[in-house]
Structure 1
Amino acid sequence: MMRISLLAGSLAALILAPQAQAQARSGLEATITRTTFGIPHITADTWRGVGYGVAYAYAQDNLCLLAEEFATVAGERSRHFGPEAKAVLGFQEVDNLSSDVFFRGVIDLPMLRAGFADQGREARGLAEGYVAGYNRFLKDAGADGIPAECRGKAWVRPISLDDVLRLTEKQMLLASSLVLAPGIANATPPGTPLAAASVPVNQALPRPGEVGLGSNGWAFGGEATANGRGLVIGNPHFPWNGPSRFWQLHVTGPEGYDVMGVGIAGTPIPTLGFNRDVAWTHTVTAARHFTLHALTLDPADPTRYMLDGESVAMEPRTVSVPMPDGTPEVTRTLYTTRFGPVFVAPQSGVNWSAGMAFALNDANRGNQRAIDTWLRIGQARNVGEIEAAVSETLGIPWVNTIAADRNGDALHADVTAVPNVSAQLIAACSTPLSPLFASLATLLDGSRSECDWEAAPGTSEPGLMPASDQAATVVRSYLTNSNDSYWLSNPRLPHPALSPILGKHESALSLRTRSNFTETEALLAAGTIDHERAKAMAFANKSLAADMVMEPLLALCADAAEPAETTARGCAALAGWDRRYEADSRGAALFRAFWSKVGQRNDLWAVPFDPADPVSTPRDLATAKVGDKLLAALGEAAAELDAAGIALDAPWGEVQRWTANGEAIPIHGGPGTAGVLNYQDARPAPGGGLVPVHGTSYIQIVGFDADGPVADAILSYSQSTDPASPHYADQTRAYAAKQWHRLPFDAEEIAAQTIGETRRITE
């Protein structure tokens, strides 16, 4: 019997050996362990295995969202959802036809495929594994295992590497080309009819503050922390719906890679998080990642432009967009130039005329360096290695990098893929129209080749600004950013002036930035920072605008002889407000409505901005000049709330709510324009009240002890977009209750929080 057993075992080993070898060669093997709140811990021995496991786990939580995103970047939304419905491109809604034309006309697959072939083995393995992992989940789920929201839909399909390349390219363009996607998709030469022009299109330039990007980030060095090690607070402000939602994950991969944090749809590794030695976060930078170019057209042909006195033909690209069954395809021709695609914004007066057109040149087009950069950040042992990663690759697309390490050093690096355009070139190449575009972008003369981006030696791509001309600072005190420019990341350490394309210098700060500095300085004046004090600051829900305005406003109320009835009720409601955006704060909704009417007034403050005192100016409400207007605005705000059925003193948590499977969850946090650090941008909800659409998302507080990272975090909108998932709203309830979660990083911590069985996938 023993001989028979040994023989059987030998035969089994011979049969299974080639199978195991094939799996080892393919690298498609990973384990997925879930812990509290459904956070997946993906372990793999190869980079292909990492991508494989991450894609599988993400599809478990957000399949319908990701499948729809693949349809978006393939330019197939009109076919599946109709041309007039909306797509979410970055942080704005765009009609499906414009979205499809943009992705079919602007995404250059041959260029992306060539770039992919030149990437490192790590990035290639991650992408290839991601394709396999997504497709494996579809196979395992079968028709009946697809979530109800997208079950049986044609757009839920297996993907290829092209889909991942398109999605990655979209992510790189979120804060640049996507902002003008409708204008690119609907640009036609004068006299040329626009196919399917009946589809309503928003073709206006975004106004300042409308792009929808935000975040707060802090890096505290050893001089500011209780234990002398670094500490990071990450508070990115991202959408509550759509493909830019964050998703938590922990990846243990080859070559010592061990990183926990978050990514967005399609990201194969954490792009914001921590390892054993460093923690980092990102905030959207004030730098501009594209330039606009005014083209002087050939009088004989509006599809030709003059460059250095010579007529140059634009490059046409004709695309066809499939429509729903039975409807003919829509065909359009887009035009591109040396400076990028032509765009229009008729609602803002930007047209393609017989004599002039405008082109957009994007520094992040074809940026396939980002994953390599984040891989290097994830493997960094100190902030110096993080600075080297972002500087040498120039792969970070549109965000600041804010980091601290266990040694007690803190970093703020506003180093990204940005056009190499100096102040001198901007001055020499401006046009009479440049001031009209100044709030959105830098407009340069497109009739001279000398006005193109300058080539600098040693950059990863020609025309990018070298890191040495951008801003990076390392200290042992603290550095922070709330989306203002590189100029101030610590009010005691102003940065010298750099190119205007990197942001404004010695200009007025946003109220959120001023609130950041005010609260941070006050916190440190009272002692060093630790996790508990960091938590209290992150969720304090104070409004700097209220602190600056309420006393003089209430004095106006008291002095008003015969205020209008709505104004009088507004005064009474605000008198009882605690000046915060807590769930139980009464009067917060009224101040939000009031501030939206007066906060941007040019005559609001008696003391103007002073670059020598940027945190405290402008200040002092100019009541003598605008007092009557402020009271009138308060009355209008009260009337607005009356019309919306919202009591003037309603608890904020009864006004701002997130509804999950019929449960209304009160959401604390308020408008960043009112100087609230815990920013929530809310919009009217269908059933009344307000619903958050953008703002505080993944909040992490990461420090270090002798053994490794110590991380508290919460994801405000939870892991899954599937209403049937137990992790559809569990963290949302925790966020509402200001409960934090100690993240499990080591094996013992993971074992203690494990839920369900570990899943091993291989093929």
Structure 2
Amino acid sequence: MTVLLVLIAIGLATWEPLTAATAEAPPAHRYDTVIARDRFGVPHIFGTTDADVAYGIAYAHAEDDFSTLQDVVAMTRGRLGAIDGADGAKTDYALHLVQARETVDRDYMTQPADVRALLDGYASGLNAYAARHPGEVKLARLFPVNGQDIATGFVMRSPFFFGLDATLGALVGDAPLPKESAGPQPDAPDITPVGPDGRENGSNAFVVAPRRSADGFTRMVSNSHQPWRGAVAWYELVVHSKAGWNFAGAMFPGAPYPLLGHNEHLGWTNTVNRPDLIDTYKLVLDGDGSHYRFDGQWRPLEKKTVWLPVRLWGPFVLPVPKTVYRAVQGPVIETRSGAYAIHYAGADQLRMVEQYYRLNRARNFDQWQRAMAIQGVPATNFLYADAAGNIAYFYNASFLKRKPGFDYSKVLPGDTSADFEPGTVPWAMVPRNVNPRSGFLVNANSTPFLSAGAGSEMNPADWSPLLGIETDTTNRDNRALELMGANPKISAEDLERIKFDTGVSRRGWTAKWFADLMAADAKGDPQVAAAQALLRQWDWNLDGKGPADALAALLMKTGQSWHYPRKPEADPRAALGEATAYLRRVFGRLDPPLGAMLRLRQGKVDLPLDGGPEVLRAAANWDEAPDGRLAVKHGDSFVMFVQWDKSGRVSSRSIQPFGAATTRPDSPHHTDQSRLFVAHELKPVWFYPRDLKGNIERLYRP
């Protein structure tokens, strides 16, 4: 028996590395690349060609966060479970379910040659770093990687930014489907961790036209809310190629270019939007479950057995078989209550890879719109500004084609084509607000029909209800519109003050929530009554100056947890009880300073924070540390202020919570931006190479 167990253990330990497919490396090429690190460690990457730049992007990012990049590559290979165990295996299952690899294998060679060269250059940069640092490689046969691996990352992650994980998780858990992909539901297991958590989503974006700015400048503020660590954390960079690609912004691990920011001529930023982009169909199966009925005929249910590597402990990896199914509508989930096919936006295509590259290279509004018309990015708001003074908001989505007479917010019959039509509506049908009379546009994850102020909003009647456009509002959007609308002329200082605002609007869901909290029956509980008395003194601001701010921040978090995912309102008395219990347990009082509770923690840095959930100065989510303090992990992440002056010259400033080398504790740039971030200060972005001179910390060829 002991010998048998040893043999099994050896088999488990060796199975995954020996059976994992090794990719063919990109064609050998000598890349002409130079990396200049500025005094904040931000890489400025120079290359003769755009592919040379992509090579340097990968190498520089690997220097700062090779661990996360390996996780992303493992995800594209269906091997994340060999690193992260059962949690990683969920992602591997999702990769197979959405056929990300199959999509890339089918379409990769039809991509434009310059796009493939860019992907190959990025993959080659990762391979070069791995070859020079073999001790950092954490999974056998993960390298070399190639352009197909990088493209697969885009195909895999895109649908999880608009809630596909929520629908999959609800089906797997036999839980109620989320309303309009709202986010994870109670008792619904997360199917994949690669996208942003629906309970924490959020971002702010502002653009101001010359007619509304105090000095005639065009301005843009990028203020995405993402996790501060991991596979969807922002990484800042500036790129320059002799072929004319110049861009400053930020990217996610695994991207060969910035995903938002600016070039000389224009810029854009993104916020998460939540249109209804997922239709669910209940199939009718035959007796043995091998066929499904569709338009009176029995079709074979496509199925494929995949092996998910699951790390158990140490080097031991267990192969777990799983069957994935597919019907005409899309991937199929089999549950106790039946089999469900999922039709979702932007499925089975990799056009987003080219689209982002063309956006980077656009030189004017027309070129930028032509790139958007590729319709590869299946969801996400785009707010745009440029040197010519244009501003625009595109409620971008690959809206599903739908037929009148059916309720697509509910589970649909899957045995007929009457309620199903493949394809995406034309780009011309995508809602947009271009150069509004108000001279400004904002979005903070609200409905697109509230973005430009009174008299300049889009008319909901102009857009088909079949598109499933969201109608939600957030406190951040309400507050932003209040503050922007109150300024006849918005100065640079005004815009900075608005972005870092910690106020809570006295209208919308927050007004009702706090009214309900203060009106709740304390039922003789002196702690609840004391909390209500403290709340009545609150000034509706989470600036850390008032005695009720810590309590209010906790209650904002509770409110966000039901309002944002479109759930019923939480019990106000229970929410007060939970908040007071925490404050008494950790601080022995109900009125500790907000900064004593909310902390920025990284390495040896431990700093107080202001703001909170659902305010413009966002601290969206946190973990309770062993000492009871709340270590923020999600919220204001990469922040960038961009302006074009009257002559069209661009300049920008930025900030991140930690630094360029988030996962390198020994780096001087592990936390060198933290004190600035806490103080609402910004650092310069040296966009033009001539401005970078004198601010270079290190210059080298990778």
Give your verdict on TM over 0.5.
yes
Query: Judging changes above 3 Å, is the alpha-carbon distance between structure 1 residues 185 and 719 closer, same or farther for their aligned structure 2 residues?
Result: farther
CA contact (8 A) 2:248 2:261 kept: yes
Instruction: Give yes or no for the alignment of 1:509 onto 2:473.
Output: yes
Q: 2:265 aligns with which of 262, 277, 287?
A: 277
Residue 62 of structure 1 and its aligned partner are, at CA, apart by: 0.7
Residue 413 of structure 1 and its aligned partner are, at CA, apart by: 0.9
Residue 410 of structure 1 and its aligned partner are, at CA, apart by: 0.8
CA distance in 1, matches of 2:171, 2:152: 17
Q: 2:630 aligns with which of 679, 690, 705?
A: 690
Query: Judging changes above 3 Å, is the alpha-carbon distance between structure 1 residues 550 and 78 closer, same or farther for their aligned structure 2 residues?
Result: closer
1:634-653 alignment to 2 at 5 Å? 634=576, 636-645=578-587, 647-653=589-595
Q: 2:127 aligns with which of 123, 130, 135?
A: 135
CA distance in 1, matches of 2:696, 2:203: 31
CA distance in 2, matches of 1:551, 1:484: 20
Residue 465 of structure 1 and its aligned partner are, at CA, apart by: 1.3
Query: Judging changes above 3 Å, is the alpha-carbon distance between structure 1 residues 46 and 552 closer, same or farther for their aligned structure 2 residues?
Result: closer
Residue 670 of structure 1 and its aligned partner are, at CA, apart by: 0.7
Q: 2:444 aligns with which of 475, 478, 482?
A: 482
**Which residue number in structure 1 is paired with residue 405 of structure 2?**
428
**Which residue number in structure 2 is paired with residue 80 of structure 1?**
83
Residue 631 of structure 1 and its aligned partner are, at CA, apart by: 6.8
CA distance in 1, matches of 2:393, 2:690: 33
Q: Give deviations 1:700-731, integer Å, cap 9, x for gaps.
A: 11111226212121122432222222222122
Instruction: Give yes or no for the alignment of 1:569 onto 2:537.
Output: no
Instruction: Give yes or no for the alignment of 1:112 onto 2:112.
Output: no
Q: 1:261 aligns with which of 243, 249, 274?
A: 249
Q: Give deviations 1:106-139, integer Å, cap 9, x for gaps.
A: 4342430231211112211111001110111122
Q: 2:418 aligns with which of 429, 437, 450?
A: 450
Query: Judging changes above 3 Å, is the alpha-carbon distance between structure 1 residues 717 and 443 closer, same or farther for their aligned structure 2 residues?
Result: farther
Q: What amino acid maps onto 1:580 in structure 2?
A: N
CA distance in 2, matches of 1:630, 1:318: 48
1:302-313 alignment to 2 at 5 Å? 302-313=289-300
CA distance in 2, matches of 1:29, 1:583: 50
CA distance in 2, matches of 1:366, 1:598: 37
CA distance in 2, matches of 1:553, 1:362: 38
Deviates more, 1:535-544 or 1:316-325: 316-325
Residue 211 of structure 1 and its aligned partner are, at CA, apart by: 4.8
Q: 1:219 aligns with which of 192, 207, 218?
A: 207
Instruction: Give yes or no for the alignment of 1:529 onto 2:490.
Output: yes
Query: Judging changes above 3 Å, is the alpha-carbon distance between structure 1 residues 576 and 184 closer, same or farther for their aligned structure 2 residues?
Result: closer
Q: Over aligned residue pairs, what C-alpha RMSD do you find?
A: 3.4
Residue 25 of structure 1 and its aligned partner are, at CA, apart by: 9.2
**Which residue number in structure 2 is paired with residue 360 of structure 1?**
342
Residue 687 of structure 1 and its aligned partner are, at CA, apart by: 3.1
CA contact (8 A) 2:91 2:191 kept: no
Q: Secondary structure at the match of 2:697?
A: strand
Q: 2:499 aligns with which of 538, 541, 556?
A: 538
**Which residue number in structure 1 is paired with residue 15 of structure 2?**
none
Deviates more, 1:745-754 or 1:322-331: 322-331
Q: Give deviations 1:191-249, integer Å, cap 9, x for gaps.
A: xxxxxxxxx9826999x994532211112112111232321111111112210000111
Q: What amino acid maps onto 1:125 in structure 2?
A: A
1:607-646 alignment to 2 at 5 Å? 634=576, 636-645=578-587
CA contact (8 A) 2:599 2:607 kept: yes
1:359-398 alignment to 2 at 5 Å? 359-391=341-373, 393-398=374-379
Residue 595 of structure 1 and its aligned partner are, at CA, apart by: 4.3
Instruction: Give yes or no for the alignment of 1:322 onto 2:287.
Output: no
Query: Judging changes above 3 Å, is the alpha-carbon distance between structure 1 residues 184 and 253 closer, same or farther for their aligned structure 2 residues?
Result: farther
Instruction: Give yes or no for the alignment of 1:167 onto 2:153.
Output: yes
Q: What amino acid maps onto 1:129 in structure 2?
A: G
**Which residue number in structure 2 is paired with residue 192 of structure 1?**
none
Q: What amino acid maps onto 2:675 in structure 1?
A: R
CA distance in 1, matches of 2:27, 2:326: 45
Q: Secondary structure at the match of 2:220?
A: strand
CA distance in 1, matches of 2:401, 2:464: 9
Instruction: Give yes or no for the alignment of 1:406 onto 2:387.
Output: yes
CA distance in 1, matches of 2:527, 2:425: 54
Query: Judging changes above 3 Å, is the alpha-carbon distance between structure 1 residues 269 and 517 closer, same or farther for their aligned structure 2 residues?
Result: same
Deviates more, 1:326-335 or 1:44-53: 326-335
Query: Judging changes above 3 Å, is the alpha-carbon distance between structure 1 residues 394 and 727 closer, same or farther for their aligned structure 2 residues?
Result: same
Query: Judging changes above 3 Å, is the alpha-carbon distance between structure 1 residues 306 and 254 closer, same or farther for their aligned structure 2 residues?
Result: farther
CA distance in 2, matches of 1:487, 1:452: 28
CA contact (8 A) 2:98 2:348 kept: no
Q: What amino acid maps onto 1:212 in structure 2?
A: E
Instruction: Give yes or no for the alignment of 1:701 onto 2:652.
Output: no
Query: Judging changes above 3 Å, is the alpha-carbon distance between structure 1 residues 183 and 753 closer, same or farther for their aligned structure 2 residues?
Result: same
Query: Judging changes above 3 Å, is the alpha-carbon distance between structure 1 residues 153 and 481 closer, same or farther for their aligned structure 2 residues?
Result: same
Deviates more, 1:587-596 or 1:268-277: 587-596
- Count, aligned residues: 645
CA contact (8 A) 2:394 2:431 kept: yes
Query: Judging changes above 3 Å, is the alpha-carbon distance between structure 1 residues 707 and 470 closer, same or farther for their aligned structure 2 residues?
Result: closer
Deviates more, 1:632-641 or 1:410-419: 632-641
Query: Judging changes above 3 Å, is the alpha-carbon distance between structure 1 residues 738 and 25 closer, same or farther for their aligned structure 2 residues?
Result: same
CA contact (8 A) 1:390 1:416 kept: no
Residue 545 of structure 1 and its aligned partner are, at CA, apart by: 5.1
CA distance in 2, matches of 1:320, 1:696: 38
TM-score by length of 2: 0.83
CA distance in 1, matches of 2:524, 2:188: 43
Query: Judging changes above 3 Å, is the alpha-carbon distance between structure 1 residues 646 and 226 closer, same or farther for their aligned structure 2 residues?
Result: farther
CA distance in 2, matches of 1:669, 1:116: 45
CA distance in 1, matches of 2:678, 2:281: 47
Residue 699 of structure 1 and its aligned partner are, at CA, apart by: 1.1
CA contact (8 A) 2:554 2:579 kept: yes
The structure whose Rg is larger is 1
Deviates more, 1:634-643 or 1:512-521: 634-643
Residue 341 of structure 1 and its aligned partner are, at CA, apart by: 1.1
**Which residue number in structure 1 is paired with residue 332 of structure 2?**
342
1:647-666 alignment to 2 at 5 Å? 647-666=589-608
Query: Judging changes above 3 Å, is the alpha-carbon distance between structure 1 residues 209 and 714 closer, same or farther for their aligned structure 2 residues?
Result: closer
CA distance in 2, matches of 1:600, 1:323: 32
Q: What amino acid maps onto 1:448 in structure 2?
A: T
Q: Give deviations 1:249-308, integer Å, cap 9, x for gaps.
A: 11112531111101101111111001112121011122233322222223x332321111
CA contact (8 A) 2:168 2:191 kept: no
Query: Judging changes above 3 Å, is the alpha-carbon distance between structure 1 residues 561 and 314 closer, same or farther for their aligned structure 2 residues?
Result: closer
Q: 1:500 aligns with which of 465, 473, 481?
A: 465
Q: 1:469 aligns with which of 422, 429, 453?
A: 429
Residue 394 of structure 1 and its aligned partner are, at CA, apart by: 0.6
Instruction: Give yes or no for the alignment of 1:235 onto 2:235.
Output: no
Q: What amino acid maps onto 2:304 in structure 1?
A: R
Deviates more, 1:697-706 or 1:631-640: 631-640
Query: Judging changes above 3 Å, is the alpha-carbon distance between structure 1 residues 548 and 450 closer, same or farther for their aligned structure 2 residues?
Result: closer
Q: What amino acid maps onto 2:83 in structure 1?
A: H
Give the gaps of 5 or more residues in structure 2. Answer: 1-25, 175-186, 564-569
1:712-751 alignment to 2 at 5 Å? 712-720=653-661, 721-751=663-693
**Which residue number in structure 2 is paired with residue 71 of structure 1?**
74
CA distance in 1, matches of 2:616, 2:40: 27
CA distance in 1, matches of 2:493, 2:425: 40
Q: Give deviations 1:18-37, integer Å, cap 9, x for gaps.
A: xxxxx999362211111132
Q: 2:276 aligns with which of 278, 281, 288?
A: 288
Q: What amino acid maps onto 1:401 in structure 2?
A: F
CA distance in 1, matches of 2:319, 2:574: 53
Query: Judging changes above 3 Å, is the alpha-carbon distance between structure 1 residues 104 and 537 closer, same or farther for their aligned structure 2 residues?
Result: same
CA contact (8 A) 2:522 2:528 kept: no
Q: Give deviations 1:63-88, integer Å, cap 9, x for gaps.
A: 011112222332223333433xxxxx
